[in-house]
Chain A
Amino acid sequence: MNKEITKATTLSSTDEFIKGLWKENPVFVQVLGMCPVLAVSNTAINALAMGLATAFVLIMSNSLVSLLRNFIPKEVRIASYILIIATFVTMIDYAIQAISVELHKNLGAFISLIVVNCLILSRAEAFASKNTLGKSIMDALGMGLGFTLGLVSLGLVREILGSGAVFGIPILPENFQEWVIMILPAGGFFTLAAWLLVFNLYKQKRNAL
């Protein structure tokens, strides 16, 4: 964690943003928050909504934790973070219900489970509690979008193969036999494994150069 602190303080705000998207992508590199990644990435729209909801919670909780970082005694920090995170999750839960009943029906229990998404807690603990508001927001933006990107990458693949559609619009010919397994939980594991393979192959290749 010492390394994390020194590294965090030397990076500029833009770098804080970029690192979440690519170098420390929460899904493909850190492999954090796998529960929603596997569960709600069965269609691209669910993945997008879940990603954005998580990003919102991440940004808000990072901001508040960063603002209150000198006010929260370290003995009660985890309890405080959970309280803050749970509040924003409840807020986004109501907001999603207000946007669309259908969407809320699809995301179901996984919205409430954002509370225990380790990505959010880890950013609060490892980053926001030690950095300024500006940097914490940039970090949350990067991580949030990186997480959304990861979810949508899975969602697109699973929706195309499992339902022959992209964002609910059919793109494959009528006679395409849908791979039901891709919509089922197992499909999430297959797709995640395939993406991790791609990422690691790319990393290996670059390191070899």
Chain B
Amino acid sequence: MTDSTTIAPSNSLKMLRAMAGIGVLCGLLIVLTYEGTLPRIELLRAQALEEAIFKVVPGITQMQAYTYKNNAFVPAEETDLDVVYAGYDSEGAFKGIAIVATGQGYADVIKIIYGYDPEKEQVVGFYVLESKETPGLGDKIEKDPTFLENFKGLDVTLNADKTALKNQVITVKKGTKTNAWEVDGISGATISSRAIGEILKQSTSEWVPLIYQNKTAFKSRGNE
């Protein structure tokens, strides 16, 4: 830094002016970008969610968000947080419910969405929305075909009085799946695949009895 001797030390006002000036300019740039990109970002997020819903409830072409309020499922408003998505085929017939669930994985919180069919009493589809699991190991929960096969008909039958699951979802060691409510784990992704089982167990025990008891609430779409 040989030039430091040639430049006189700046006074505080100059420093303040520079920092404040740059701060204002930068703030303005950020706000403009945020405002400019927000509609598109929200659109993309909604699209990604919608695509996921169509993936986990097979055969649907339209959907409706519902929330559980005052012991009944009612169509959700935009401000509602705890929503499930009912899927309908092109004739308006109710096909199943897509539910978003989260839980702790190996690296960070995993966010999944799964489809529940109250007629079959099964989980019929599964998709990972967000995960930071280890690439090559834990992230097999997103793409391992044998693992994903688990969720094409995972049994979540309710008990006799329809208040709780008869058998809770559980992840078992790879190759030892014997019952329809068990998830066949992944070797090399033990923790991540167990986490998925745990998330499903939590979420299905909470939602499935509610949805089953109120399944008629979703069937009034055809006249819309």
Contacts and interface: CB of A to CB of B under 8 A. Distances in A.
- Max chain B C-beta neighbours (<10 A), residue from A83, A84, A98, A162: A98
Contact of B18 (A76, A108, A184): A76
A175 interface: no
Contacts, number: 71
25 contacts: A2-B2, A71-B18, A71-B21, A73-B10, A73-B14, A73-B15, A74-B4, A79-B19, A83-B22, A83-B26, A84-B22, A86-B26, A87-B26, A90-B30, A94-B36, A94-B37, A95-B37, A97-B41, A98-B37, A98-B41, A100-B44, A101-B44, A102-B48, A105-B130, A184-B134
The 7 closest A-B pairs by CB, nearest first: A73-B10, A87-B26, A98-B37, A180-B136, A91-B33, A98-B40, A94-B37
Interface residues of B, number: 31
Interface of A is mostly: helix
B132 interface: yes
Contacts of A80: 18-19, 22
A183 interface: yes
A179 B33 CA distance: 40
Nearest to B13: A73
Interface string B26-43: 100110011011001100
Interface of A: 1-2, 42, 68, 71-76, 79-80, 83-84, 86-88, 90-91, 94-95, 97-98, 100-102, 105, 108, 162, 180, 183-184
B160 interface: no
Given A97-B37, A108-B132, A68 B44 contact: no
